[in-house]
Amino acid sequence: MDKKSQTELEAATFRRFVSHLQQHTEVQNIDLMILADFCRNCLAKWYTASAIEQGIAMDYEQAREVVYGMPYNEWKDKFQQEATPEQLAAYNQKQQAKDD
C-alpha cells in the first residue's frame, strides 16, 4: 500500500472512530480511561499536538469540539455524569498499578 492510500485509510478510520464516540454519549470518559487508558479529552490533546506538528493553528478547545462534535461545555452539560465511587476506585486502582 502506498503512503497516500495509507494516510487516507487512517483518516477515514479516525473519522469513523470519532463519529462512533459522538454517537455513544452513554460511554463516559472515566469508563474509557478505566478500560483503555485514554478518553475523548486525550484524543483532543493528540489532535492538537498533531495540528501543531503540522504547523496548523489549533487550540485544545477547538480540538475538543472536533472530537465531541460540539463545544465541550455543551457536551458536558448534556451527557457527562458524575463518576460513581466504583468508577473512581477503579480509575485510582489502575493509576496506582501504573505507578508500581
Q: pLDDT of the chain along its 100 residues, tens only? A: 999 999 999 999 999 999 999 999 999 999 999 999 999 999 999 999 999 999 999 999 999 999 999 999 999 999 999 999 999 999 999 988 888 7
Cα within 13 Å of Cα(5), Cβ side: 2
Q: What is the pLDDT of residue 98?
A: 81
Cα–Cα dist 43/34, whole Å: 15
The residue extents of the domains of the chain are: 3-99
- The amino acid at residue 66 is V
Cα–Cα dist 97/4, whole Å: 40
Cα–Cα dist 68/28, whole Å: 12
* Pick among 3.40.50.720, 1.10.3340.10, 3.30.310.80, 3.40.50.10860: CATH of 3-99: 1.10.3340.10
Distances (CA, A) of 78 to 8, 17, 42, 50, 81: 33, 21, 20, 28, 9
Q: What is the pTM of this model?
A: 0.89
